[in-house]
C-alpha cells in the first residue's frame, strides 16, 4: 500500500441531536490511488489515473488534476456490501448507497434516448435496493459542447443529456421537489460516467435566491431545463452537512463576467455564501458563519488560469481544507470555472 498525504473532513463540534440519524460516511482526500480498498471503503474516486482491478468501488473521472489531492475515499462506520447489478457498480452500508455507470461513445449515438434509459435504469435500481432518495449526482461527459448531430444549438451534447435526464426524472410526480445536488462537467476522455450517492430517506433541497432554480430556466437554454437542486441539506446527528452542486457565475439565469475569470470566481463565491445562508436559519441553525468547508473542487476550463485565480481560492477557504483543482469544461461555454463543495455545520441548533 502506498503512503498517502491525506486530508480528513474535520470533526463537527456540534452536539449530537437525539432522533437524527448518524452520519453514514466519512470522506478522506489523498494524493495517491490505493492499490486495494479496505473493507470500510464505500467508494474511491480517482481523478486521472485509471484504477487497476475489478473492485466495483473504484470510479475513474477522466479529468486531469491541476493541484491538490486527486483521490477521494468515502468510508463507512458500518459493514459495506458491494457488487454489480445491470452494469451498475455499487456499494451500500444500510443507510446510503454509492453507485456508478459508464456509457462508451458507441452507446451515445443517441444521447437523449440513452441518457433517458440510463437514468430510468438507475432510478429503478435504487427503488429496488431500497435507497429511493437521490442525494448527489456527478455527470462527466466527453465533448460536452460538441454537436450530437447536425442542427441547431439544441443538438449540443450537453443539451441532449439534459433532455434525456429530464424525461427520466419527470416520470415521478412532483420530481422537482426532490432533485439531488449535481455536477455536469465535460471531459477530454471518452463517453459518459455517472456516479451518485443515494439514501433511504431524502435530504432537503436548497435553492439560491440569487439564482433562478435550474429546473425553471427559460427555453433559451435548451428544450428542457437542467434537473438538479442548488444544494442538498442532510441533518446528521453529529452535525448537518450541505452538499453544494456545481456552482458558477450565474445570477438570475444569466452568465455574468464572461471573459473575466477572477470576477466569475467572486460571483461564484457569493452564490455559495447565499446557499449557506439558505441552509442556516430556515433549517433552525443559528449562524451561517459556522458552516465549515470540508472539501472543495474547482473546475477550470483553461488550466492556465490556475495561477491567476489560486490566490482568491486561498483567501476564500481555510488552509486546512482540501482544495482540488481539475481541468474540465463547465456546462456553459461562457463560464470559465465552477466550484462544488461539501460543508459541515459546527455549531448547535438555534
Calculate the average pLDDT of the chain: 94
End-to-end CA distance of the chain: 45
**pLDDT per residue over 212-250, tens digit each?**
999 999 999 999 999 999 999 999 999 999 999 999 999
Which of 92, 207, 338, 340 is catalytic? The answer is: 338
> CA-to-CA distance for 11 and 24, rounded, in angstroms?
14
Phi and psi torsions of 275, nearest 5°: -65, -40
> CA-to-CA distance for 93 and 81, rounded, in angstroms?
6
> CA-to-CA distance for 81 and 79, rounded, in angstroms?
7
**What is the predicted pLDDT for the residue at 225?**
96
CATH class of 6-345: alpha beta
Residues 6+ apart with CB under 8 A from 45: 59, 61, 71, 72, 74, 195
Its sign, for the CA torsion 147, 148, 149, 151, is negative
Active site residue 338: yes
Specify the pairing of strand 250-251 against strand 241-247: unpaired
Residues 6+ apart with CB under 8 A from 124: none
Q: Answer yes or no: is pLDDT of 292 > 80.
A: yes
Instruction: Give the chain's count of helices (H) and strands (E).
Output: 4, 21
Contacts of 57-60 spanning 24+ positions with Cβ under 8 A: 57/82, 57/89, 57/91, 57/98, 59/89, 59/100, 59/193, 59/195, 60/193
**With contact defined as beta carbons under 8 Å apart, do 195 and 98 qualify?**
yes
**With contact defined as beta carbons under 8 Å apart, do 119 and 166 qualify?**
no
pTM: 0.95
**What is the predicted pLDDT for the residue at 11?**
45
Specify the pairing of strand 26-30 against strand 71-75: antiparallel
> CA-to-CA distance for 294 and 296, rounded, in angstroms?
7
- Which parts of 143-251 are beta strand (E)? 181-187, 192-199, 204-206, 231-234, 241-247, 250-251
Alpha helices in 4-48 (DSSP H): none
Distance of CA 231 to the CA centre of its chain: 9
**What is the predicted pLDDT for the residue at 49?**
78
Burial class (CB in 10 A: 0-12, 13-18, 19+), 164: buried
Question: Where in the chain are the domains?
Answer: 6-345
**pLDDT per residue over 72-112, tens digit each?**
999 999 999 999 999 999 999 999 999 999 999 999 999 99
**What is the predicted pLDDT for the residue at 6?**
58
Amino acid at each position: 500500500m502506498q503512503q498517502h498525504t491525506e486530508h480528513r473532513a474535520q470533526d463537527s463540534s456540534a452536539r449530537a441531536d437525539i432522533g437524527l440519524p448518524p452520519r453514514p460516511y466519512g470522506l478522506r482526500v489523498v494524493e495517491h490511488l490505493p492499490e486495494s480498498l479496505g473493507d470500510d471503503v464505500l467508494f474511491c474516486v480517482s481523478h486521472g489515473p485509471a484504477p487497476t482491478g475489478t473492485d466495483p468501488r473504484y470510479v475513474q473521472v477522466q479529468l486531469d488534476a491541476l493541484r491538490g489531492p486527486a483521490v477521494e475515499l468515502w468510508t463507512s462506520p458500518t459493514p459495506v456490501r458491494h457488487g454489480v447489478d445491470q452494469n451498475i457498480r455499487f456499494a451500500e452500508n444500510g443507510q446510503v448507497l454509492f453507485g456508478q455507470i459508464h456509457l462508451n461513445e458507441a452507446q451515445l449515438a443517441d444521447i437523449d434516448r440513452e441518457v433517458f434509459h440510463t437514468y430510468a435504469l438507475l432510478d429503478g435500481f435504487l427503488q429496488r435496493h431500497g435507497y429511493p432518495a437521490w442525494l448527489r449526482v456527478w455527470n462527466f461527459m466527453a465533448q460536452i459542447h460538441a454537436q450530437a448531430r447536425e442542427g441547431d444549438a439544441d443538438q449540443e451534447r450537453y443539451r441532449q443529456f439534459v433532455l434525456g435526464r429530464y424525461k427520466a426524472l419527470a416520470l415521478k410526480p412532483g420530481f422537482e421537489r426532490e432533485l439531488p445536488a449535481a455536477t455536469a462537467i465535460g471531459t477530454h476522455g471518452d463517453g459518459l460516467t455517472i456516479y451518485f450517492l443515494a439514501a433511504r430517506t431524502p435530504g432537503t433541497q436548497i435553492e439560491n435566491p440569487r439564482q433562478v432554480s435550474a429546473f425553471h430556466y427559460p427555453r433559451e437554454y435548451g428544450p428542457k431545463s437542467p434537473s438538479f437542486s442548488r444544494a442538498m441539506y442532510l441533518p446528521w446527528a453529529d452535525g448537518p452537512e450541505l452538499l453544494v452542486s456545481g456552482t458558477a457565475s450565474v445570477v438570475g439565469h444569466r452568465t455574468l463576467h464572461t471573459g473575466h475569470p477572477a470576477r466569475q470566481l467572486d460571483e461564484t463565491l457569493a452564490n455559495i455564501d447565499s446557499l449557506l445562508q439558505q441552509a442556516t436559519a430556515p433549517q433552525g441553525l443559528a449562524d451561517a458563519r459556522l458552516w465549515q468547508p470540508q472539501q472543495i473542487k474547482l473546475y477550470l476550463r483553461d488550466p492556465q488560469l490556475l495561477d491567476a485565480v489560486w490566490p482568491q481560492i486561498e483567501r476564500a477557504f481555510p488552509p486546512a481544507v482540501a482544495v482540488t483543482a481539475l481541468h474540465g469544461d463547465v456546462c456553459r461555454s461562457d463560464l470559465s470555472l465552477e466550484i462544488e463543495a461539501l460543508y459541515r455545520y459546527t455549531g448547535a441548533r438555534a
